[in-house]
Amino acid sequence: MAYLRAVGRAFALAAFGLLSWLDVLLELLTFGLLCLGLVFFLGPAIEWARHRSATARVLAGRWCGVEIEPPYLPEPPEPERERDGWYRDGNTLYKRAFWIRWSRRLTWVMEDPAAQREFGWQLVNPPVTLLLPVFALLGGPLALRGYGHWTRWWLGRRPGRVTKIGALRWMHQRLESLGHQLGTFALSVVLTAFAVWPVALLLVAPPMAAPVVRWSRTIANTLRREVGTWTGVRIPTPYLPPPPLPTPRPDGLFQVGKQLYEEPWWPVQLSRTRWVMRDRATWRDVLAAVVLPPVTALLALPTAVLVFGGFLGLIDLWIWRPIMATWNVTWPWFFGVPPDTAHALLLTPIALAAFVLGLVPTTFLAKQAARFARLLLGPTEASRLAQRVDRLKQTRTDVTIAQAAELRRIERDLHDGIQSRLVAMGMKLGAVEALVDHDPAAAKKLAAELRSASAEALTELRVLIRGIHPPVLSERGLLDAVRAIALDSPLKAEVTGSLPGRVEEPVEACVYFAVSELLGNAAKHGSRRATITVSFEDDLLTLVVLDDGPGGANPARGSGLRGIERRLGGFDGRLTLTSPTGGPTSATVEVPCQIDPGPSSPKTSTSSETA
């Protein structure tokens, strides 16, 4: 009876598994709409697919005897209305909470690692469940229990990061790289699909083309972002800054060339059309849409054919061949061989070799595809210079405010600290002069107090100087200064990476205080461990501070993070914060700068990890 029940449940799970492909189609459709600017559908589609995953976990517990806990991060908090009745998200105010709630939930589902595993399960589960009835016929309830454990591996909670060793780690990395190759090809095909009609509008109706081209740029930006995340090859956005809004003349009219307009709408359309038409990045996107798909396909096709061919060959030889031979059914064999064990043993090394040879170059080819995409979609020198000028215009006010605040802090510390101590010491010196003749003992006591006060004042002055420019920066350089911060931090902090030389001194000080502030924030919010990664590539200094805190950091809610942004703005630097609810928090500091190829650490290096 248990055997028949297991077979029936296997057929039911196979029918239920086919529904996962409907979820995949819906998510891909909503992702395409997201690329077009219709942003409200992807998050609900992913959340809707989670109901089917929840049903799969329930069925695994009831039918397979394997309990599976939901793996998702805690849901984001609801927006809170401020006293004035508005809702705040960063520096933007909203009358209603809909947009904030939607953006938080989209970030929640997109940044959850469980969502990526769930999408993989939706792709792989249907073919696996189609084989499940066959295994149930052979193994009965044992096959169902194996399927339950397999489902828990995909859809269950993972207590920690499992370190893969040896061949498993190698195969996992290469399979990920193969997925990155196929993902780059898929995004390039999407770019091609949506690059044709903006070009047609540019040729037929240029005034209508500007907003359409701007919408289509979101697809190219998605490709740039995902390629950088997958392969580590950064592709900055190459577009020129948008033109400013037209300013009216003293008589209230708007002038474009020799033509006057009463309303600003038409001048805005003309300026944006010229901006789009004259931006080389627009036409380079079109070129990438034409060239990138065949190149990425050429790089991905051989590896995909070898990997999937070897995998399907092994399934054909050792799963379908015995089953079909038992049932005496003719089957279109993958290798075109009769169903006998001798041929299977002979062809198994060929299938394994094809699988392994297909995996070997995947990481290298994925990076080559990314570099080719950067060649087409990366910024030119003109666009890079224009972007830097525009950003410096935006950050000039913040830099002035930051400098003024820093001067006020130094003035306040001097006035309230050192100056007060020096005044008190002067008064005590006067008392010593009055007492030295008729009460030498009291004068000696006051002199001892003066000696102690002078030592405290000297210590306070050294702390103040260290806050202005730490001596460890001048003596050891940025990398060892960051290691010194890690040693002084209450966290168990580890510093990795290297620098090819000494960074410019103002940049060193800026990044030093940024890292100090980030570690202080992490310790204040309950983090116990932190990792600091330092690197320099393509004239860009990058530091990544990763902590295991509760997450939820927002630069708009704290003066410390805003202060870091203002500091970095003076050097055209950026602070990128990723802090989902539940953690971890990753803060990336990027500063373009030059580096001196001399020794980066003239003295002995400090340790890279605290006790």
Which residues lie closer than 8 Å to 402 by C-beta, 6 or more apart? 563, 566, 567, 569, 570
And the tokens for 417?
């600290």
Average pLDDT over residues 354-372: 92
Most confident of 124-133, 202-211, 379-388, 565-574: 124-133
Average pLDDT over residues 18-27: 88
pLDDT of residue 264: 76
Round to whole Å and give the CA distance between 195 and 321: 46
| Contact status, residue 398 vs residue 571, Cβ threshold 8 Å | no
From the list 452, 485, 440, 443, the residue with the least C-alpha distance to 466 is 485
Which residues lie closer than 8 Å to 574 by C-beta, 6 or more apart? 568, 588, 589, 590, 591
Round to whole Å and give the CA distance between 8 and 136: 9
Is the pTM for the entire model greater than 0.75?
no
On the question of pLDDT at 603 being above 90, the answer is: no
Q: Which residue has the higher pLDDT, 162 or 223?
A: 223
Round to whole Å and give the CA distance between 72 and 95: 30
pLDDT of residue 357: 92
Query: Phi/psi at 301 (nearest 5 deg)?
Result: -65, -50
| Contact status, residue 461 vs residue 418, Cβ threshold 8 Å | yes
- Conformational region of residue 534, where left means phi above 0, alpha means psi within -120 to 50, and beta covers everything else: beta
Question: How confident is residue 360, by pLDDT bands cut at 50, 70 and 90?
Answer: very high
Most confident of 149-153, 241-245, 465-469, 522-526: 149-153
Query: Phi/psi at 299 (nearest 5 deg)?
Result: -80, -30
Average pLDDT over residues 138-143: 84
pLDDT single digits (tens) 287-340: 998 999 999 999 999 998 898 888 887 777 777 766 666 666 555 555 555 556
Q: Please report the beta strands in 43-149, taking only residues with DSSP state E, as ranges in sequence order.
A: 87-89, 92-94
| Contact status, residue 567 vs residue 513, Cβ threshold 8 Å | yes
Q: 561, exposed or middle or buried, with CB in 10 Å at 0-12, 13-18, 19+?
A: buried
Round to whole Å and give the CA distance between 539 and 541: 7
pLDDT of residue 606: 40
Average pLDDT over residues 12-39: 82
Round to whole Å and give the CA distance between 323 and 133: 12
Residue with tokens 């990526």: 116
| Contact status, residue 344 vs residue 317, Cβ threshold 8 Å | yes
pLDDT of residue 336: 54
Q: Return the DSSP state at 500.
A: S
Round to whole Å and give the CA distance between 2 and 9: 10
127: preceding bond cis by omega (within 30 degrees): no
From the list 519, 506, 509, the residue with the least C-alpha distance to 594 is 506
pLDDT single digits (tens) 481-493: 888 888 888 888 8
| Contact status, residue 236 vs residue 378, Cβ threshold 8 Å | yes
Most confident of 202-216, 364-378, 506-520: 364-378
Average pLDDT over residues 137-142: 83
Q: Which residue has the higher pLDDT, 460 or 522?
A: 522
Number of C-alpha atoms within 13 angstroms, CB side, residue 602? 9
Average model confidence (pLDDT) across the chain: 79
- Conformational region of residue 65, where left means phi above 0, alpha means psi within -120 to 50, and beta covers everything else: left
Round to whole Å and give the CA distance between 430 and 419: 17
pLDDT of residue 370: 92
Question: How confident is residue 602, by pLDDT bands cut at 50, 70 and 90?
Answer: very low
- How many C-beta neighbours within 10 Å does residue 158 have? 12
Residue with tokens 């279109």: 332
pLDDT of residue 339: 56
Sign (positive or negative) of CA dihedral 329, 330, 332, 336:
positive
On the question of pLDDT at 468 being above 50, the answer is: yes
What are the CA-CA distances from residue 193 to residues 190, 299, 571 (Å)? 5, 20, 39
pLDDT of residue 556: 57
And the tokens for 484?
């010194």
And the tokens for 446?
């006051």
pLDDT single digits (tens) 554-594: 665 555 777 787 778 777 788 888 777 677 888 899 888 88
Q: How large is the greatest C-alpha to C-alpha distance in the chain, in angstroms?
A: 122
Please give the share of the chain, as a percent, with pLDDT higher than 70. Answer: 83
Query: Phi/psi at 255 (nearest 5 deg)?
Result: -110, 130
Round to whole Å and give the CA distance between 543 and 534: 5
pLDDT of residue 600: 44
pLDDT single digits (tens) 390-409: 666 666 666 666 666 667 76
Round to whole Å and give the CA distance between 348 and 310: 9
On the question of pLDDT at 162 being above 80, the answer is: no
Amino acid identity for residue 182 in this structure: L
pLDDT of residue 608: 42
Round to whole Å and give the CA distance between 318 and 539: 53
Q: Which of 135-149, 399-413, 451-465 has the lowest mean pLDDT?
A: 399-413
Average pLDDT over residues 452-473: 73
Amino acid identity for residue 171 in this structure: M
Query: Phi/psi at 440 (nearest 5 deg)?
Result: -60, -35
And the tokens for 580?
């989902």
Name the pairing type of β-strands 529-537 and 492-497: parallel
On the question of pLDDT at 371 being above 90, the answer is: yes
Round to whole Å and give the CA distance between 1 and 60: 19
Bridge partner list, 589: 543, 575
pLDDT single digits (tens) 411-449: 776 666 677 777 777 777 777 777 777 777 887 787 887
